[in-house]
Amino acid sequence: MQTTVLSFYNAIAAAHEPREYTYLREAIPFGNYEVTLDFMIWSKKQVGINCYCTIKETGLKVILPVYRNEAEEYLAGSQEMRFVVFGTELRATVDPRGEQGVILKDAIIVKR
């Protein structure tokens, strides 16, 4: 199975706009809500994936990271995020991570 995660430059070349999305903890709500996965980019600073999502209820564009585990999987709950198709609707669980970040703790596919 081939990954759907893009490099930053490939995302720009595909006309995605990462600058439109926020990663600021104070702007991203915690809890459970539905999002649309717009695209994903490999993280530059950590071993992870940044999921660029739009919250369905509000239209807020957010960056929800998923980090690689010891088995070298990029899981949000039991969902391997590397292979999720862009445009998929997810039921997301977003939790705080550390003092400044957030994490996509769980993702359940609602609609492909």
Identify which of 110, 101, 108, 5 has the alpha carbon closest to the alpha carbon of residue 62: 101
Query: What is the reported pLDDT for 98?
Result: 83
- The pTM is what? 0.95
Rounded to whole angstroms, how far apart are CA atoms 51 and 88?
Answer: 12
H/E stretch holding 9: helix 8-13
Each residue's pLDDT expressed in tens, for the chain with a length of 112 residues = 677 999 999 999 999 999 999 999 999 999 999 999 999 999 998 899 999 999 999 999 999 999 999 999 999 999 999 999 999 999 999 999 988 899 999 999 998 8
Query: What is the reported pLDDT for 110?
Result: 95
Query: What is the reported pLDDT for 97?
Result: 92
3-class state of residue 101 by DSSP: strand
Query: What is the reported pLDDT for 3?
Result: 78
Query: What is the reported pLDDT for 1?
Result: 62
The CATH fold assigned to 8-24+32-111 is OB fold (Dihydrolipoamide Acetyltransferase, E2P) (2.40.50)
